[in-house]
Structure 1
Amino acid sequence: MRRATPLLCALVLLATLVTPATAQDGPGWLYVGLDGDIVAMRPDGTDQRNLTATADRWEDHPDVYDVSGRDVITQYQLIGEDGEPTRQGGMHYINPVTPGNDFDPLSGSFVAETYAPSWGFDTSRFFYSDGGDEIGAVYFFEGRAATIVANRGGANGYFDPDGTPSQTDRDEVLYTFTAGGRLGGLRLLNFGESPTDLLVAAGKYAAAGYGRYYADGDQVVFSCRISDGGPLQLCRSAPDQEGTGFAAIPTPVDAINAAVSPDGTRVAFRGTDGSVWVAGIDGSNPTQLVGAASGEGLDWGQEIPLRGGPTPEPPTPPEPEPPADPAPNTPLEPGGTDGDPTTTERAAFTDAGPYSTAVSQARYPSTSFAGEAAGPAYAILSRDDAFADSLAGSALSGDGPILFTPTDELAPDVADELTRVLPPGGTVYLLGGTAALAESVADAVSALGLTPERLSGPSRFETAVAVAREVIALGGSTDEVLVARGTGPADNPTAAWADSVTGGAYAAAARTPVVVTPSEDLHPAVEALVADTDATAVRLGGDAALSPAVEAALPGSRRIAGTDRADTAGAIATELLDYGVDGPRTALVLNGFADDGWIFGLAAAGLAADLGGALLVVGADTVPPATQALLSTCGDPQVEVLVLGWRTVIQDPVLEEIDRLDGGACG
């Protein structure tokens, strides 16, 4: 069996370290030096493939070029007639995908070995160290010329280089130095106009070496001893003098050959006996992939179609998708509910247009423009795919339906509902500018013999104020104005509409304007509206929704808020709508956490006002505690409940829980 040279064995005994390789993008393959060959394997140790199964070379120290995984460079030593590695060798380029495209960028003409090669900034340049009888110098190789980067001096030596990944904007090389034949630390050389050579993470460890960059080049992982005589483990930090972000990574064995996965979540390393391990970047869940073995170096490469694997099986046709659970779009009862609290009803819709027309038909089941039945005063039209310009519309919906349509066309069912519910020449309010509802939508409304009237501003905030001023012009309240947040954080976008939507039932019932503002500061248009009307501002939501700065800009305002959006909806119901916690009452429940939950709440605001009910919040499969409290009764059921949306919006267990809460055991 081929074995490592005495030099390499001596390195293990002297420094108890072996050379790691650079972590690259993609967690698909680990490249490991094993028993004189370069073996690729999955990060769980399976699907091993020998990429260099030759009898004349001993190969070690694979280094993968950046994220591709298609370029691997190794060191090699030629095998002599006695079967042992010789001093002749060089660097070997491997294409791990296509056989026959391998070559030697450095041949065996060197007097001493090339040791621990590393790509240097691109595929035409390399770093390596010159072993010889002792670890000595670091070289930079470009074209056919080698330049010394760090030369041995006295008892000191330099070795094991690693160049920065090519995707960074830095040209640097990280390498290890020894002092008096013992492991010293890490140095970094900047190849810029004024080269600098500095210690990396100085003062953080007693000894360190064999550093390798993360794939993004912003951190390095290395072997280290925190204190003299301490265990050999892994450490990581930024590649700077201070060791920014320095952290130790505990390992179950003396750890060498570290390489970090491209996403920075895992680290592969070797034990000093050549075993191969993978663990979390913090050292958690270490798993041994290979037992004790002869070999050095490992690196991480992304998922590629690596050569040497089994012939792939023909792809299995995918299983057909299960049929969708289409909403039946069953018309609602006239008036919206059946009036029987022993039953929980569902508005069985998923799409905005059909749902909003069904709510309109329930509110205005028959219309006559000769005075026999009261129809709406107008209709409100809003886009069906974004809530920004719709949020203030609930204040108008006490006297007319909100209908949803695509931005660039008037949906046929919505057009039919407009002509059914409005007399010729009736007003249709369009919420938002032409980016929300195109001019073609206004033209389509006109073609129906109706009168489009656009309420808009430069942003959602001015649009809400324009709607509010129209509400007031139509005789709406000037005593109060509801103020809610109009934006949400990136990781919680539904927060932007939750409070304004659940406040819609009160806005529709009391014809009270709703306006929205950024959470951090009061929008000037909102400030002007409140000043012009001398109305009392009612702030919906806690400090996360409307900051203390907003409160300070609204002197004399009051807040209605709960611990979360469901609790705030409950507070709106009890404090503004006088919704009781016992006796007969009506609730319309919406999924206040779904991306499109605003559609179900806004279209139903006017219906809730008609029924004297409240808009309450549930999840897709849960009933929050605040909502449970408002739906609970003992004895005979007393809560008339309409669930807004098909079971893909609010699941059946929510209805079952509502039924359980209403009419439970007393005592």
Structure 2
Amino acid sequence: MSAKKFTAAAATALAAATSLAVPAHANVAPKTFPGVNGPLTVTTGQDNLLHFGSSTPGGGGTEQMPSSRIADAEWAPDGSRVAYVDQNGSVISARFDGSDPIVVAANAGASHPTWINGGSLIVYAHGGSLYSVPSLGGAVQVLSAGHQPGDQDSAPQGGANGSMVFQRKTNGATWVWTYNGYTNAAARVANTNAGTQPSISPNGRTIAYIHEDLNGLPQVFTVGVDGSNPTQLTTDAKPLQKNDTPVWSSDGSLIAFAAAGAVVTIKPVRGPVENTVAFVTGRISWQPNADMSRPPSTSNPVNLVERLDGPDRIGTADEVSGWSYGNQQANVVVLARQDIFADALAGSALAARFHGPLLLTPTGNLDPRTLAEIQRVLKPGGFVYVLGQTAAISAHTFNQVAAAGFRPSRIGGNDRFDTAVDIAKTIVPDYTHNPVTILAATGLNFPDALAAGAVAGSRPNTVVVLTSDTKMPPQTQAFINAVPQRAVFGVGGGAVTALSSVRMAATRVSGLDRFETATFVAQTFFSGPQVVGIATGFNFPDALAGGALAGRVGGPLLLTGPTGLPSETADYLNHASGSVSDAIMFGGPAVIDDGLQNQVGDLIGQPNQWVYARNNPGAHTGPR
């Protein structure tokens, strides 16, 4: 099964609840719409074309979309994808050039799809209610936004920092409402009675909408999101003008709206000059472009490709720690052996959940660089979780941590399976009476467990346990059986077989190889990430440290070869480009070739609208 087929057919089946598709505590970057004004597009609902704006009839050109008819198209925050409604009422997301279509919500009877939360979610209207769905597809949920029985909600329009506006009709009266996708707060906007078709400005402060003037003619108005300063902009006196559907430009300098069979633009001031920019009408949307003369920011949708690497695996782990944590900002440190992955496989989940980096050291002696990083990120007396028994991290190394003024605590059993169970019990000590999501992966190799670790690190009450490839270790089985409220996932073919061998009910998340399995994990649990991690699929240390970072920021860990992205990894990045604003490669050019940054950058956004940063944590503008 290819990654494309998985995206279209299995997202809803495996992401049976939104909690699987969107990490409960994800640190989402406040990626917003502002930028340089790209093309203005109009979809008429009568053909399958994006009609581009032009000051002359027929002069703007078109872009064909991969459906027989499209309506209500709107651009993603970075302009890399466009969401629209097809002839079946399904919500479709496609790349800017019409390629790579994915079904986000099938046969939904949808209208007005719009992107919120930095592109992580798509909201649409149907039958008087609003619905949200992860932008890669998945479980559809009713968006209450204060909805009461009898309310009729419609015309949602997304904006910056999780904001959205829509119109709500209650007891015959229509008002403009605001909603925030991060806080779930909704509020009616004062002074907007009888207002329709709202659109929020890129800075999130002002709403444009349609309201009738004293002569009963529809005009464009603006109002503050708090209801302040309602202002009538247009004064058109033509009864046939029928002003409608105002939309802000990407930089906030203009408002476009439909008028008398055309689209015109105005500046957001009273009595503006109207300029005709299109000679068709329908849903209007402005494609945001990045300003490549300025760095990425919350007001400039430049995508970012990063590389975190050091002279060796210990140095890379230190760089990853430096990206995530400032001085004395970590709660804990997780310390693992640098040369063998056995006891460390579940460690990235522990590090992410307890808010600390995963660092590496030789068995017999604490590496001076690792000690320096512990001293930098952790306050004196802080906890250092040491993974494995003395064969993994020696008593001498343990004592060196203690002598430096920290409190080491060893987590390790007789073997890797015991250690993973001990880590799981540390993460969820009340596992016997609370719901737990359990991801089982083979412990005889590293890729599947490390992809699962990013998932476990991204959400509460989620752990990784290990199988002996296709066999079920008794300690792993005993732990799973001790969790009465469990959701079990088999990550990779070996774990699926092991679970089946003991008749353990589990959802399969497995591909033909490690790359496809990591992609399936990403699709199942991360259906609208802002940040993705990318590590080599042929060695464990970079993925181990990187998985802790990915889990902390609510993103997947994808795998790659040294000189080119596997097709499954590339497909996922392409599908997710509407939400992903930062792709972080772990390890140096010896494991991930410099040429991959170009491929990754063009996949997560529009071509050439990205920048590259190496070991520069300040380049990332979102939470971490």
- The two structures have a TM-score, normalised by structure 2, of 0.46
- Flag the structure with larger Rg: 1
If asked which structure has higher relative contact order (CA below 8 Å, sep 6+), I would say 2
